[in-house]
Amino acid sequence: MAGNPLGISLEKAAQEFVDAPSEPPFLYQLAPEAGRKAVDGVQDSPIFKPGVDEEWISCARRAFPSRRFGTRRSFTTS
């Protein structure tokens, strides 16, 4: 429970995730290449991505005065 000092009830996978970085070597102790590899390893699991309908629209500057104008994408889940 080192990564969960308050003892909050977590699913097994979540508990393993928070426990993993609680023992050396810590991320800041790794060389940059090894640190990137460690972070990439956490983020490379396949995830569910719902389908989307994508539409590109052009925006006039006066419609969004505080933002850059140009082409924007609009998404809706299918």
CA dist 66 to 61, 73, 75, Å? 8, 17, 21
pLDDT at position 31 = 95
Percentage helix, strand, coil for the chain under 3-state DSSP, each rounded to 5: 35, 20, 40
* DSSP-derived 3-state class of residue 59: strand
Work out the average pLDDT over 55-71: 63
Chain segment 3-34, per-residue pLDDT in tens: 778 888 888 888 888 888 888 888 899 999 99
| Residue 21 CA to its chain's centroid (Å) | 17
pLDDT at position 34 = 93
For residue 17, give the nearest of 37, 35, 43, 36 by alpha carbon: 43
Beta strands in 1-78 (DSSP E): 52-59, 70-77
pLDDT at position 62 = 61
